[in-house]
Amino acid sequence: MAEVTISADSILQALNWRFATKSFDTSRTVSSEDLNTILEAVRLAPTSYGFQPFHVTVVSDPDTTAKLRRAAYDQEQITSASHILVFSARPNISDRASNLFSALRRNGVPEEAVAKLEKFSKITNLIRTVTFSRTSWAAKQAYLALGIASLTAAELGIDGCPMEGFDAGKFAKILRLGDDLRPAVLFAIGYRSASDKARPKYRLPLRQLVTWHDNQAALI
Ligand SMILES: Cc1cc2nc3c(=O)[nH]c(=O)nc-3n(C[C@H](O)[C@H](O)[C@H](O)COP(=O)(O)O)c2cc1C
């Protein structure tokens, strides 16, 4: 793998440039190359144990987006965006777990290490089932992947809007998702329309968001 060469400036520039776009330019479409880069970023996102407990449905068909918009409180992004990425939680990961463990074995990871991971994952999955919903655990992984998709889109100069203002049950029905998928969050992507201006960014200062426990803090 080549060394990473993206500069800190370019990352922060992209993150300052992006904003949650409310209205997209309907005349512009995200190219399949850029769309693939965003989806590849989603694929490379870290997940708990590497189980990837989510699924992404890409929607651009106008008949479907019109129906989705009605199930998303009539938010304009749904029909003006070039594509809607629907991130669904996929709480049943038994097949993905066994595929992952077989792949690790095939790739020469020592049996002892794989067995340890397998055992540990079974214990934590059991704890999860008892303490909180597995769907909520799976959704968290989807949100993390969405975050990475959002940064990737910004780096490519593509606008986006993360969205959780929609009716998950209606989305599942419209998209004919199976029982194993539960829509968690959306990412509408495209290009901002001329009428949609970036709003001033409101963010907490770092000192309110971060606490340091390090040698320097101890000296102050
Ligand atoms: C999980 C999540 C859900 C969101 N849902 C919606 C939504 O349904 N509709 C919308 O217009 N914006 C939505 N937003 C956008 C936020 O309101 C926006 O990111 C926030 O106000 C910060 O502004 P900025 O992203 O433009 O910097 C959502 C953002 C996140 C992270």
Residue type, 195: S
- Choose one of 146, 159, 164 to mutate for the ligand 1 pocket test, by most ligand atoms within 8 angstroms of C-beta: 164
Average pLDDT over residues 170-174: 98
Give residue-wise pLDDT tens across range 75-119: 999 999 999 999 999 988 888 888 888 999 999 999 999 888 888
CA of 50 to the centre of ligand 1 (A): 27
β-partners of residue 160 are: 20, 189
- Residue 88, both tokens: 């669904």
Q: Which pLDDT score is estimated for 123?
A: 72
Is the beta carbon of 201 within 6 A of some atom in ligand 1?
yes
More confident residue, 94 or 182: 182
Of the pLDDT bands very low, low, confident and very high (cuts 50, 70, 90), residue 130 is low
Q: Which pLDDT score is estimated for 29?
A: 98
Mean pLDDT over the full length of the chain? 91
Q: Which pLDDT score is estimated for 182?
A: 96
Q: Which pLDDT score is estimated for 55?
A: 98
Is the distance from CB of 10 to CB of 178 less than 8 angstroms? no
Nearest CA to ligand 1 atom 15: 20
Q: How many CA atoms lie within 13 A of 20 on its CB side?
A: 12
Q: Which pLDDT score is estimated for 94?
A: 81
CATH number at residue 61: 3.40.109.10
Residues 118, 21: one domain? no
Q: Which of 96, 72, 74, 73 is nearest to 86 (CA)?
A: 72
> For ligand 1, what atom is nearest to the CA of residue 166?
8
Q: Which pLDDT score is estimated for 126?
A: 60
Domain that holds residue 103: 95-123
Residues 139, 185: one domain? yes
Domain count, the chain: 2
Residues 100, 207: one domain? no
Please give the Cα distance from 207 to 219 (Å, whole number): 17
Give residue-wise pLDDT tens across range 197-207: 878 899 999 99
